[in-house]
Chain A
Amino acid sequence: MTRRLERHFSEQAERRPDAVAIVMGNERLTYGAVEELSSRLANLLRSDGCEPGDRVALFTPKSPLAIVGMLATLKAGAAYVPIDAASPAQRVARVLNACTPRFALLARECASQLDGALAGAAHAPRVVALEPERLRGERFEAAFDLSDAARASATRPDPRGDETSLAHILFTSGSTGVPKGVMIRHESVLAFLDWAWAYFGTAPKERISSHPPLHFDLSTFDVYGTLGAGAELHLVGTELSLLAHKLADFIRRSELTQWFSVPSILTYMAKFDAVKEGDFPAMKRLLWCGEVLPTPTLIYWMNRLPHVRFTNLYGPTEATIASSYHTMPALPADDRAPIPIGLPCGGEELLVLDERLQPAPAGAIADLYLGGVGLSPGYWQDPEKTAAVFVPDPRRPGQRIYKTGDLASVGEDGLVYFHGRRDSQIKSRGYRIELGEIETALSTLPFLKESAVVGVETGGFEGTAICCAYVTADAALKPTRIRAELSGHVPAYMLPTQWMQLDLLPKNQNGKTDRPRLRELFLERASSRVPE
């Protein structure tokens, strides 16, 4: 039988229609209800011309209906493209132009974002409102709403497509300012889930967090890993993460059995000491992925929750969710002990290779390549960028390996260790950011003569701080003005948090911006700053 993500959900829905599938606040949807609603919405899309291979854009905050929309898209045989709610209109317009979705599923909260994006987009999707009424804006009017879906057939549509079909396209920051769409197939997600279900022993009725936003590929583990296992998916809204104690309270009251997030949120909760001794008694496992978890944070959590299993996951979107794992066998020896990214998950390969694509000697730091079942077919309609990083496997003709841009080594223990990036991609609060995207946006601002953006490790919970140095054409210019202008080009999480006006940017011998020197300048200023 063809294996597809929505089929795994539907099987669970047949087995346990009355079990709770999705929880958010006071809202609870059963497996039966999600199955019925997603079938109706899929039938509506199909009756309106949705074809296999079509794209459906999701303009919705995380909500039970957003998940229904994802499943409906897959049932219709199409692939969905989650739109980052924090993304400004211009950037969304580029995504729409790139993936030309036939439909947009729209929640009320995102109506103005869609309107703004349509102003700059050459392509307009048919709008389906995920609301009881037709939403409209200045540049669109919804063709359908939930009342139309309610009149569509509740019978699950015949399956379309197979395991090699695209399930979603996830757009990530691109260094030239154009977001890159990573194409993900059903089979790649399922390969990871097969490993994860067996390794973690995910059981029906478990209560599992869904913390990362839906345009992060980590969210696909939460959603399909939970709904394919008959467990409960507990959605964590963006605002809930703003206050550490409220978030701890949520985990406690929801009696979560699994928590999975980027490390910055764990460090944030540790910083505010929001976790009590022996807290979250129902929790079985805590997982993180997306950036380096500071060892002191891990020690804090492991001391607080001795009953929990702690697992580090590693892997870029291009290799689907995660490619390697390391479960902590014991407390780290001290605050500086590195946490390995570990061993490959089932069917995956981690290769630390030199410039000639030969295995680097043990202990040597070299480029990390990934191979195996998780590899994406590449970037949406961008063969050039795809060919630059998905390269032929020198050992096996016809196979590919993916160059992550990460540096790694194989330790004496046989485990793989992460050693940072080769390029100017950074992680801040778990967001994957190309500093080049911010610099490209800055270069369009007329009042700046020169500017550069560097990532600085400040020791704060955000991971890397985004720091901007700038030179203006004439008088002193407040960063407020630059920040306000820049926010029209990049998402809020890409906005620099540190600013420095200079008369000249420091240059190296080649006449290029001296980035190491700039980083030093920001660090010097941070260490010299006296409390007011």
Chain B
Amino acid sequence: MSTPETALEDKITRILRDHLAIDVPTPETDLIATGAIDSLALVDLLVRIEESLGIAISVEDLDLRDLRSVRTIVALVSRRLAIR
């Protein structure tokens, strides 16, 4: 059983694992408070998401709460996919 959200969750989790070597225990894990993601990893993550999903994420409008966890990133990406 795979909804679009869980498919996206898997995809983001894989990007974190394969490109940033970061294992995320759950989609709710706070990536920022746990120190998993710093500015360096953040830039890398955004570029990878843009490439693999073919969307553009404008950094000017980004808010930190969009990037807290895999779940919030999925919500952000879903909004961008809907606009497209």
Listed in ascending order, the chain A residues whose CB lies under 8 Å from chain B are 86, 239, 241-246, 265, 268, 271-272, 429, 460-462, 478-484, 491-493, 497, 499, 531-532
Q: Apart from A242-B32, A478-B17, A497-B44, what are 13 other A-B pairs with CB-CB below 8 Å?
A: A86-B35, A242-B39, A242-B42, A242-B64, A243-B59, A243-B62, A245-B62, A246-B63, A462-B40, A481-B23, A492-B35, A492-B36, A497-B41
Q: Which of B36, B43, B64 has the most CB of A within 10 A?
A: B43
B51 and A497 contact, CB distance less than 8 A:
no
Smallest CB separation, B41 vs chain A (Å): 8
A243 and B22 contact, CB distance less than 8 A:
no
Tell me the bound Cα distance from A272 to B17 in angstroms: 25
**List of A residues within 8 angstroms of B17 by Cβ:** 478, 480
Tell me the bound Cα distance from A492 to B31 in angstroms: 12
Q: Mark B25-51, 1 if CB is under 8 A from A, else 0.
A: 000000010011111111110000001
**List of A residues within 8 angstroms of B63 by Cβ:** 243, 246
**List of B residues within 8 angstroms of A241 by Cβ:** 39
B52 and A532 contact, CB distance less than 8 A:
yes
**List of A residues within 8 angstroms of B64 by Cβ:** 239, 242-243, 246
Interface flag for B1 (CB, 8 Å): no
**List of B residues within 8 angstroms of A429 by Cβ:** 38-40
Smallest CB separation, A490 vs chain B (Å): 11
Tell me the bound Cα distance from A462 to B21 in angstroms: 18
| Interface range, B side | 20 to 34
Closest to B51 in A: A532
Q: Which of B1-33 contact A (CB under 8 A)?
A: 17, 20-23, 32
Interface of A is mostly: helix
Closest A-B pairs by Cβ, 9 of them: A492-B35, A479-B21, A483-B21, A480-B23, A462-B40, A480-B21, A245-B60, A242-B39, A480-B17
Closest to A492 in B: B35
**List of A residues within 8 angstroms of B32 by Cβ:** 239, 242
Closest to B47 in A: A531
**List of B residues within 8 angstroms of A493 by Cβ:** 38
Closest to A460 in B: B40
**List of B residues within 8 angstroms of A244 by Cβ:** 59
Tell me the bound Cα distance from A271 to B23 in angstroms: 28
**List of B residues within 8 angstroms of A239 by Cβ:** 32, 64
**List of A residues within 8 angstroms of B67 by Cβ:** 242
B39 and A268 contact, CB distance less than 8 A:
yes
Closest to A88 in B: B35
**List of B residues within 8 angstroms of A531 by Cβ:** 51
Smallest CB separation, B49 vs chain A (Å): 12
Tell me the bound Cα distance from A481 to B42 in angstroms: 20
Smallest CB separation, B22 vs chain A (Å): 7
**List of B residues within 8 angstroms of A482 by Cβ:** 21
Tell me the bound Cα distance from A532 to B39 in angstroms: 22
Among B20, B23, B44, the residue within 8 A (CB) of A484 is B23
